[in-house]
Chain A
Amino acid sequence: MFERRKAEGKPALVAYLTAGDPSPAATAGLVAALERGGADLIELGVPFSDPVADGPVIQRGADRALKAGMTLSRVLDVAKEVRKNSQIPMLLFSYLNPMLRYGFAKLAKDAKAAGIDGVLMTDASVEEAQTYVDAMRAEGLDTVFLAAPTSTERRLELVAKYSSGFVYLVSRTGVTGEQESLSDPIGPLVASMRKYTQLPLAVGFGISKHEQFKSVGSMADGVVVGSALVRVVEQHGASPNLEAELEAFTRRLVDGGA
């Protein structure tokens, strides 16, 4: 997937959505809208009551999803639903505790059966991840880890070692959320990470516009967009045009134009 886009001279769009926002029934349709708009990979966010790594936009998305009754097992139902019509790669994006409560081995099995391709955990360091990685890999699921601007060389090496599928580079220190301009240069982090892995590198945090997508994408294999998409869902949540709005926003992100 990353290779195909590379051949086209474009970065892949990794699109994050909080599953269950605005309702569990809406999510499969929103994934389809993202795919039509040009997304190459979907991160299905599992809502969590205490999302310490997230800014206000994704916090509100998680609140709406939880109020609407979203659970991890219902996220897997959504994945199944998506798989009926689409082969787009899907990643579970979750805080650790809901997965821990579900049970790693059972989760790996059920996620695989639901058509999930990999898992990303926001709040577990590689040091604590061995049992989790073993359980996911046993079912053939990828485990994506994050690297940050604060990561030392030793840590980048560990992140590379535990990651499969791709590596997610966090472009700045901070919580999730769109930014007017991207303050921190990401070139150095991309270059450092490259020393330790041949896996595709996706960069995220703060990206919401086509220009940012292009400039970040020129340095990496993929670009992750989250809060900007969740904001579209927030703004049009009650509207019958939600899917069309999300598709159009995604297309503008990838292709530019008004």
Chain B
Amino acid sequence: MTNLPDARGHFGPYGGRFVPEVLMAPLEELEAAYAEARVDPAFQAELADLLENYAGRPTPLYFAKRLSESLGGARIYLKREDLLHTGAHKINNCIGQALLAIRMGKRRIIAETGAGQHGVATASVCALFGLDCTVYMGEEDMRRQRLNVFRMRMLGAKVVGVTNGSRTLKDAISEAMRDWVTNVSTTHYLLGSALGAHPYPMMVRDFHQCIGKEARQQILAKEGRLPDTLIACVGGGSNAIGLFHAFLGDSGVRMIGAEAGGRSLKLGEHAARFDGGIPGVLQGTFSYLLQDDDGQIALTHSVSAGLDYASVGPEHAYLHDQKRVLYTSVSDADALAAAQRLSRTEGIIPALESSHAVAEAIKRAPSAKGEIFIVNLSGRGDKDTDIYRENLKELDASE
């Protein structure tokens, strides 16, 4: 289970490479460059140095005492990816891919972003390395994650609004792919989740594996044993696979991926791919996919821009079918309530994406006395202040 994908990028039946022929040779080139970098001590040393000194790794594994006590059950630990530079786990992957792009001689970087966290992390590493940076973002996401749009621009990136489809993450990825098809000889596509054509799902996972490796050591040091349950939110699936991967061989560790349940589980009102999705091909990979009877991609909804996507990383599809990971969904309302609760009990305002994982922990903890949970707190909530304000109007009014 831990030695996947196979040579052609398959996780069981999922994954692979479904792109126009123009992109096939460049993907082969990327795969070869990554295979070299992966075993190159100089590359790994530079990556490790930047993860420590630029991004701020290792991140703490923090025991959320008041949250745990208030629920009266499991001991809940938070893996504090929200404390990383730029405010989310996304920077792990961005540093890795930027180093790789430089190695390949590509000085122009393009990326998509939903919540804006991947865009900000990409813009930051491009500034750091002096690379040209263009970020595609759906206009709906630009509206709801305004703060991050400005951060990207301040960092020197060009942010291009996308007006197609639902104007969210999926449409931003399509536009980034069109740019890449056109400028592939000079440009690296710095994809932000464990999605897309091989080698991206593998490569992005590898760059985030540090999350789970650290957490495993940290929990052994603190508790003297492995955790009972890991919980992470799943958009494309990068923070979740980053936490899960180091524990896949530990059969006693249960893993839960929280998808966006949105307003309801009616098609079009959520982004719970494992709750209504059917395997299909979108944007380079074969995985669970929210679609209609004619194979057209369904619209999705989540209060959280980073989880609002019709497909999911292919390794998650595989882990789902293997029943190694349990996928559940968390509604908009429960995620918002969890954000409020974590703020009040721990003094931590989480990103809306991460709030889905927190909500799942809140649901399960009371009946799990004696158990240890690790929740991946993938990002901080500053970017979501506008949405929290809209949903907590009474706080704005109280003086």
Contact B22 A173 (CB under 8 A): yes
Interface centre among B16, B183, B282, B283 (most CB of A within 10 A): B282
Q: In this assembly, does B182 line the interface, its C-beta being within 8 Å of a C-beta of chain A?
A: yes
Q: Name the A residues within 8 Å of B18 (CB-CB).
A: 96, 123-125, 128
- Interface residue stretch chosen among B127-135, B257-265, B286-294: B286-294
Across the two chains, which residue of chain A brings its CB closest to B8?
A127
Q: Name the B residues within 8 Å of A122 (CB-CB).
A: 20
Contact of A49 among B16, B185, B297 (CB under 8 A): B297
Contact A102 B22 (CB under 8 A): no
Within the complex, the shortest CB–CB distance from B46 to chain A, in Å, comes to 29
Q: In this assembly, does A201 line the interface, its C-beta being within 8 Å of a C-beta of chain B?
A: no
Within the complex, the shortest CB–CB distance from B36 to chain A, in Å, comes to 18
Given contacts A52-B177, A59-B164, A97-B289, contact A125 B295 (CB under 8 A): no
Q: Name the A residues within 8 Å of B181 (CB-CB).
A: 52-53, 173-175
CA distance A96 to B17 in the complex (A): 12
Q: Name the B residues within 8 Å of A152 (CB-CB).
A: 25, 28
Contact B184 A173 (CB under 8 A): yes
Q: In this assembly, does B2 line the interface, its C-beta being within 8 Å of a C-beta of chain A?
A: no
CA distance A95 to B248 in the complex (A): 35
Q: Name the A residues within 8 Å of B178 (CB-CB).
A: 52-53, 55, 175
Within the complex, the shortest CB–CB distance from B220 to chain A, in Å, comes to 41
Contact B283 A96 (CB under 8 A): no
Contact B295 A97 (CB under 8 A): yes
Q: In this assembly, does A98 line the interface, its C-beta being within 8 Å of a C-beta of chain B?
A: yes
Count residues on chain B whose CB falls below 8 Å from chain A CBs. 39
Across the two chains, which residue of chain B brings its CB closest to A175?
B178
Count residues on chain A whose CB falls below 8 Å from chain B CBs. 40
Q: Name the B residues within 8 Å of A99 (CB-CB).
A: 295
Q: Name the A residues within 8 Å of B396 (CB-CB).
A: none
Within the complex, the shortest CB–CB distance from B172 to chain A, in Å, comes to 11
Q: In this assembly, does B88 line the interface, its C-beta being within 8 Å of a C-beta of chain A?
A: no
Given contacts A52-B178, A150-B184, contact A100 B281 (CB under 8 A): yes
CA distance A175 to B284 in the complex (A): 16
Q: In this assembly, does B250 line the interface, its C-beta being within 8 Å of a C-beta of chain A?
A: no
Q: Name the A residues within 8 Å of B28 (CB-CB).
A: 152
Within the complex, the shortest CB–CB distance from B186 to chain A, in Å, comes to 11
CA distance A18 to B11 in the complex (A): 34
* Number of inter-chain CB pairs below 8 Å: 117
Q: Name the A residues within 8 Å of B24 (CB-CB).
A: 125, 148, 150-151, 155
Given contacts A173-B184, A173-B185, contact A50 B21 (CB under 8 A): no
Residues in chain B within 8 A of chain A (CB atoms): 8, 16-26, 28, 164-165, 170-171, 174, 177-178, 181-185, 278, 280-284, 286, 289, 291, 293-297
Contact B174 A52 (CB under 8 A): yes
Contact B296 A48 (CB under 8 A): yes
CA distance A155 to B284 in the complex (A): 18
Contact B17 A50 (CB under 8 A): no
Residues in chain A within 8 A of chain B (CB atoms): 48-53, 55, 59, 66, 71-73, 95-102, 122-125, 127-128, 145-152, 155, 159, 170, 173-175
Contact B295 A98 (CB under 8 A): yes
CA distance A222 to B281 in the complex (A): 30
Within the complex, the shortest CB–CB distance from B391 to chain A, in Å, comes to 30
CA distance A125 to B26 in the complex (A): 13
Contact B184 A52 (CB under 8 A): no
Q: Name the B residues within 8 Å of A150 (CB-CB).
A: 21-26, 184-185
CA distance A145 to B21 in the complex (A): 9
CA distance A170 to B182 in the complex (A): 12
- Would you list the 5 A-B pairs with minimal beta carbon distance, nearest first? A101-B295, A98-B295, A148-B22, A174-B182, A49-B296
Across the two chains, which residue of chain A brings its CB closest to B26?
A150
Within the complex, the shortest CB–CB distance from B17 to chain A, in Å, comes to 5
